Amino acid sequence: MLNLQEFFGENIGKIVISKDTCTYRVDKLNDIFDIIIPHFDKYPLVTQKLADYILFKEIVNLMKNKEHLTLEGLKKILSIKASLNLGLSPCGGGDPYQGSPNGDPLRGSEELKDKFSDIQAAVKRPLIIDKIIPSPFWVAGFTTGDGSFYLTIPLRGIRQDSLIGNPSGIRASKLNEISRIDIGVFNSSAFEGYYFIGKIYCLF
């Protein structure tokens, strides 16, 4: 989190610690419009998260044009939000990550739906089809979050004394693994096409 904050700028955003979570938040509209949006336009997301970004950017542009200050504009923003991430999510006072003052993460969501019961997801969520890995730096970032490096030495059927002076009996495998890829978020075969080596195993 500190590295992320340092990257965007010391005065851009803040780190919020709440119970067992730590979040980097950028709340100022100008910071989002001038710093965050240009970064992700220059270095676009690859996974289905790009769909959320496209909708988020549309909302930011509406707010930059002050459309959120009118009831019609606010409803337009909420209709886009209904297609974003988890839809009409928590609002109200207290910790925004807890949903409402009493800490019930569902109550805030229901309050928002009650106040704007006529709001529907008017925007079709973009479908990201061509998920191509753009650069080795993207691979490095993705591996930082979901990759692991480990060594497997299968010794089944091999006696330890037979390996003395004959290390060729040991075979190392699985040196690099990128795990926990949600097929609905990212097509893992893109890695195979990027490296032209390795295999894809679906564990479900």
Q: What are 154-174's pLDDT values in tens digits? A: 655 555 555 555 555 555 555
Residue 150: burial class (beta carbons within 10 Å; 0-12, 13-18, 19+): exposed
Mean residue pLDDT across the chain:
71
Collect all residues with Cβ–Cβ distance below 8 Å to 20 and sequence separation of at least 6.
Answer: none
Domain boundaries 2-115, CATH class: alpha beta
Mean pLDDT, consecutive 10-residue segments, the chain of 204 residues? 88 89 91 94 84 91 92 86 69 42 43 67 71 76 73 58 52 54 53 59 55
What pLDDT does 204 receive?
53
Residue 125 CA, distance from chain mean position: 16
Quickly tell me which residue has 């003395």 as its tokens: 164
Sequence-distant (6+) residues with CB within 8 A of 105 are 90, 98, 99
Domain boundaries, the chain: 2-115, 136-195
Is the pTM of the predicted complex or chain greater than 0.75? no
Q: How far is CA 104 from the centre of its chain?
A: 24
